[in-house]
Each structure stands twice: as C-alpha cells, then as structure tokens.
Amino acid sequence: MNRAFGKVFKSENGVKYGVIRKATAPFPKVLSALEVLAEDGCGNYFVLLNEAVCFWDHETDEAEVLSNSIDDFVSRCSALEEVELEPGQVESAWIDPEFAKKFGIKSKPL
C-alpha cells in the first residue's frame, strides 16, 4: 500500500480519489471492524472489506468498492497531474491561518 501514498486512485469511470496518505489513528468508530489502509486528508478513508478496497466517505458514512484487491488498487494509482493557472484565474483561496503565519501572511476570516 505504501506505493500508493502521495498518488490518486482513478476509477474506471474517471473519478479521482486521493491524495492517498498514511492513515493515523484515532479512526471513526464506525470503521473499528475494518482494516484502515489509508486516508485522503479530508476525513475519508480507504479500507479493506472482504479483500476489496473501499472508499469510506465521512459525510455519508458509506463505503464504495473501488477495487477487488490491494494489488489492483495500487496499480490504478498515479501521480498527481500538475495544473497550470493563468493570472486572474483564481478568484479566491482559503489558507490555513497557522500556515499563513509562517510566511508573514495575514489571513482574512471567512
């Protein structure tokens, strides 16, 4: 599974899941009966259910089967694609206030 860290999983219909990273406890109680493989940093987890890799969505409490095995899952993970934006293309962005402080940026409240 380590080979998938830092990558995204792309489903057969083109939906991307990730960025996949090492999961750290504590995990939501609803996942206690499952093997947690990784997380995406947004509160969602990749879990093992009867040998299938599933994506557990923290907003719906539902697991969606992504792949029938860990090997298949990892083989369908790829590096992030770089995105180039033109000046003026970004209208707004949220920056973590603690991160902004490190660079002397004063963040505005939402």
Tell me the pTM: 0.76
The closest alpha carbon to 56, from 43, 69, 71, belongs to: 43
Residue recorded with tokens 């180039």: 84
Phi, psi at 35, each rounded to 5°: -90, 115
Q: Which tens digits make up the pLDDT trace of 54-77?
A: 999 999 999 999 999 999 999 999
- Distance of alpha carbon 57 from alpha carbon 101, whole angstroms: 31
Q: Which tens digits make up the pLDDT trace of 71-90?
A: 999 999 999 888 888 988 88
The closest alpha carbon to 21, from 42, 38, 9, 34, belongs to: 38
